[in-house]
């Protein structure tokens, strides 16, 4: 297992431990459910990223058209520039290619997309 994934697992363990501890607090059930609903999607997404990264298999493929705005903004900040924001991956991709990226940078971007669980037509 990579060091990055080991760290991610440790962070997930802390998150789940915090959720369990919060359940012991004398709060309304609705508040407990709200907190769990807010945290669990991120836990699940991170577990999927670790699984995909470690096994190379993705049983939960996502289409690139489903990319979130926060992920587009992360890609934009890292590969284009902080002030550029894109409505979809196709627009981002066009701008990225216009920067004439070197092969290593392109591979890094494609690995990031794969780690996030997006379907790529071909292996790279």
pLDDT at 68 over 50: yes
pTM of this structure: 0.59
| Rounded mean pLDDT, 6-13 | 93
**End-to-end alpha carbon distance in the chain:** 21
CA distances from 43 to 19, 36, 71, 86, 94 (A): 11, 10, 16, 26, 32
Predicted pLDDT of residue 70: 84
Predicted pLDDT of residue 82: 67
The secondary structure of residue 39, as a DSSP letter, is H
pLDDT in tens, 12-62: 999 999 989 988 889 888 988 898 888 888 899 889 888 988 888 888 888
């Amino acid at each position: 297992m990579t060091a990055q994934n080991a760290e991610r697992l440790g962070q997930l363990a802390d998150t789940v431990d915090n959720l369990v501890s919060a359940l012991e607090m004398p709060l309304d059930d609705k508040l407990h459910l709200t907190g769990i609903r807010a945290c669990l999607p991120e836990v699940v997404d991170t577990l999927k990223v670790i699984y995909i990264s470690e096994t190379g298999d993705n049983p939960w493929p996502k289409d690139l058209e489903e990319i979130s705005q926060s992920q587009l903004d992360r890609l934009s900040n890292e590969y284009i520039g902080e002030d550029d924001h894109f409505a979809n991956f196709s627009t981002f991709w066009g701008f990225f290619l216009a920067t004439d990226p070197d092969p290593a940078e392109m591979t890094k971007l494609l690995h990031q997309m794969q780690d996030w669980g997006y379907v790529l037509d071909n292996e790279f």
